[in-house]
Structure 1
């Protein structure tokens, strides 16, 4: 991808938000290039108005890159409604446009649907955004390389926060080498709603560094300005703690009182929703053996209290992973590769009103064993014909059942073509009125 294909934002709210005069006091080199505060939008549909924005800065690594694995875990299992209410922004924090283009190309190849829907954006900074790092003062016994690395990280996080501030209600800071739990979106949104009335500055969904910190987007300008003010001085997690100190601590009281007051401005969610997976740091030569002990084990299935039904299927299940156990929420259903005409039938013991359904195939460890070209059919009580209600898309079938078809006697999944892979049903949720 060449420089010509990069699209700078012009005459947009995103440009206006960057043009804050105070930034020039902290980064005086920007006065010579005012347009360097405008991001290059490499991929994106300009999505706004979502509940949750995820920000992921990524840089060129000497060793292994984890970005695609990180994105894969974030997109795994999202429902249609969740895909519409989420925005993931990848900030390629490099000024080498060939490299930026290569990342955009790889993302487009691996996640074409997410890019097309506007769920995923890729941006990069102007070549003039970063200052001259050679004049940085060494502090805290850190080497020049480490001081440069942490300073650039402060600038990267600030840039991303300012870009994201008008995109949604909440902003979550992630890194490019994390792994998300399958339920991370619903868990984060539910906890943020639960804690909405409290005066927190951020919610923590991981105890590691800056990973999984959720902010209200209206607080981002203040936070980014603080980071920019002291970007040369300290690491970003230290600066975040200093914001808490400024907001909460009374200099006339002791350290214990300060800690108690700061604790009110951050709320911790357990178990952690994000785990650090990278071994090789973005700082060359540094190995990171960071693991969040509160992350626990991954959930391989999601159980629900479904209405009583007789179950049958033409699919042969593997070992103990039966359809009956999956429907009861005790396990996932795992079967040999289906062929055209294979089915799963859920025949309710008595007709009931059903508002909708959710079937999720594959799980976080076995991501490829999904239903492909498979439809969902409903059988109304007063009909002898099944009605097609929906189909699996990217391994998930989610839909509502109109009132005219109620009550419902049965639901059926029907495979329309032979598959090369096994199928795994990790969630079956029948919503009753």
Structure 2
């Protein structure tokens, strides 16, 4: 009987080992929210419960078989005591079988542990298919001494924004306009949102396009990120930019469209940009994207921190998410990335200055270059650093504003906690380099945060060159256009100011009557233009860096030859090239993208007058920033 009890105890201890190990594995598999873990669990857990049931049955059968086998040992009829030697041999055999079964059970339990770890890592961290993120989930297996793999998980965007798991496509950008340009030197990121008072986006884009040469446009990518979705109602107020775009001097609401949904607003921004800048969109220079409607979390769950109001906490949290989305979208499209805002003005030549400065410092260790001292405007990063930066922003997106988080990254990378603040400041200065003068100026008065008015100005930006000065021949100037304030045509012609006129209508003109007939020929000294290229013998540039939308459209350049015979002869010889206008003038050129420049044929010279003639009503004011007539 003692032997039977000992055998049962050994079998019972082996059977108890598996349930304890199995119970230890259960927490490792996390069931999705709203799901009963033990009744509706994943297939792996059901399989584990089936293993448990089978092993219990096996143990019970083996235990009963062992007891029956021991009890059924034959005994000598003539002796009251069994053959103890035979019983001892059979007990040894049973113990050996029980030991082998225990080893098999431990091996099976270890395999189940590994299967549970792998399933837990897959179910809890694997991103949806076909989603491109900078911080993809990655499982690393580390081999220990006993060759049992131990699983560690790298962090990813789903840990910081868990609501994205519910929508597999929530990280796919909605590309509204674009040609998929890549491999450029500089990528400009411009987030934009609806504003209560005034929208500055078109003025910002016009300023950025104004001074670019053809080669620079091929080496640049601008990404406009319209940071609005259909779930953002209540955070920002509706604003139609259509009226503002058609007439930049009309800053108010359009009452007919103030109730636009966010999806309608996004579409209207894309359509307006496509209408105003068709060449830039078609060439791939300009892209417009927006986030998925489920990208943003529920902002009502945010807690107030840093003494900020709830609206301000929402605003700064959304800004962190906007910048992160834009950086992740742009990180593989170029060599350097520059963060801008939708209410800035750029200095002429900004692209060449940024590229040269970044190339000179490329071999040095820096986190970002500064081309403006205001907030996050004009901060340049290497695109290879963007995944690390965005992960930091996402990690603390609910805690602090984005410019504070950038400073914290600098502190982590540069500062020694055992040193004083002065040493920290010195070390951080090595990881950021400042370019002077600033290349971008903040121009917006009304912030994207409703109700906030800001008067931020970069003192290092200096004054913009709003017009070019040239020495022109003596002439009597006149115009049917009414000039604005002191910006008269006379001051512009003599190089003292630019000419700024109210909205032109059909048949408005600007007339230069020369005191004596002049010859504008192709011979003579070559003059270099402001971008270093050859300058034409006559040139009229409309718009400037601050009001680049105020250009002449559907306007021709016309000359009046001094001799009627010369006029008649030349027009008759080249009817397809020159066309006669009224009052004896001949059309020689037309404004294209705000510029009219060229030479005048010898056969038309000398000329006694030159005229700019408007052929249709305009939607915007007109500005002449450069007048050149070289003799």
Return the match for 2:416 from 250, 263, 267.
Answer: 250
1: CA distance, partners of 2:225 / 2:535: 33
1: CA distance, partners of 2:340 / 2:526: 46
1:276 aligned partner: 442
Return the match for 1:319 from 474, 490, 494.
Answer: 490
Matches of residues 155-194 of structure 1 in structure 2 within 5 Å? Answer: 155-194=321-360
2:199 aligned partner: 65
1: CA distance, partners of 2:519 / 2:411: 57
Return the match for 1:364 from 521, 527, 545.
Answer: 545
Return the match for 1:337 from 503, 506, 510.
Answer: 510
CA shift in 2, pair 1:426/1:247, >3 Å: farther
1: CA distance, partners of 2:228 / 2:342: 14
Cα shift readout 1:199-252 (whole Å, capped 9, x = no counterpart) = 111111111111111111111111111101111111100000011111111122
2: CA distance, partners of 1:301 / 1:353: 16
2: CA distance, partners of 1:104 / 1:130: 21
CA shift in 2, pair 1:316/1:36, >3 Å: same
Secondary structure at the aligned position of 2:490 is classed as coil
Which blocks of at least 5 consecutive residues in structure 1 are unaligned?
Answer: 1-10, 305-309, 376-389, 399-410, 429-433
2:83 aligned partner: none
CA shift in 2, pair 1:43/1:366, >3 Å: closer
2:363 aligned partner: 197
The offset of 1:357, in angstroms, is: 2.5
The offset of 1:171, in angstroms, is: 0.9
C-alpha contact 1:311 1:345 (8 A) present in aligned 2 = no
1: CA distance, partners of 2:591 / 2:335: 30
The offset of 1:182, in angstroms, is: 2.3
Matches of residues 372-391 of structure 1 in structure 2 within 5 Å? Answer: none
Cα shift readout 1:117-136 (whole Å, capped 9, x = no counterpart) = 22111101111111112222
Secondary structure at the aligned position of 2:224 is classed as strand
Cα shift readout 1:58-116 (whole Å, capped 9, x = no counterpart) = 11222221112211211123221222221111111111311211111222222222222
C-alpha contact 1:311 1:344 (8 A) present in aligned 2 = no
2:220 aligned partner: 86
C-alpha contact 1:48 1:167 (8 A) present in aligned 2 = yes
The offset of 1:198, in angstroms, is: 2.0
Return the match for 1:16 from 116, 127, 132.
Answer: 132
Cα shift readout 1:232-274 (whole Å, capped 9, x = no counterpart) = 1111000000111111111222111110010011111122121
- Of 149-158 and 114-123, deviating more is 114-123
Matched, 1:233 2:407: no
Matched, 1:395 2:594: yes
Question: Which structure dedicates a bigger proportion of its chain to helix?
Answer: 2
CA shift in 2, pair 1:351/1:82, >3 Å: closer
Secondary structure at the aligned position of 1:191 is classed as helix
2: CA distance, partners of 1:265 / 1:427: 46
C-alpha contact 2:176 2:288 (8 A) present in aligned 1 = yes
Question: Which structure dedicates a bigger proportion of its chain to strand?
Answer: 1
RMSD: 3.8
2: CA distance, partners of 1:174 / 1:227: 17
CA shift in 2, pair 1:358/1:88, >3 Å: farther
The offset of 1:300, in angstroms, is: 2.1
2:626 aligned partner: 425
Secondary structure at the aligned position of 1:75 is classed as helix
- Which one scores higher on RCO, CA 8 angstroms, separation ≥ 6? 1
2:297 aligned partner: 131
2: CA distance, partners of 1:246 / 1:353: 49
The offset of 1:331, in angstroms, is: 8.5
Secondary structure at the aligned position of 1:288 is classed as coil
1:55 aligned partner: 189
C-alpha contact 1:70 1:177 (8 A) present in aligned 2 = yes
Secondary structure at the aligned position of 1:37 is classed as coil
CA shift in 2, pair 1:282/1:417, >3 Å: closer
The offset of 1:344, in angstroms, is: 8.8
TM-score (norm 2): 0.53
1: CA distance, partners of 2:518 / 2:338: 40
C-alpha contact 2:469 2:626 (8 A) present in aligned 1 = no
CA shift in 2, pair 1:313/1:195, >3 Å: farther
Paired residues in the alignment total 380
The offset of 1:53, in angstroms, is: 1.1
C-alpha contact 2:207 2:547 (8 A) present in aligned 1 = no
Which blocks of at least 5 consecutive residues in structure 2 are unaligned?
Answer: 1-128, 138-155, 231-262, 479-488, 502-508, 559-588, 602-609, 616-621
C-alpha contact 2:334 2:383 (8 A) present in aligned 1 = yes
1: CA distance, partners of 2:367 / 2:285: 26
1: CA distance, partners of 2:327 / 2:183: 16
TM-score (norm 1): 0.76
Matches of residues 142-153 of structure 1 in structure 2 within 5 Å? Answer: 142-153=308-319
1:401 aligned partner: none
The offset of 1:137, in angstroms, is: 2.2
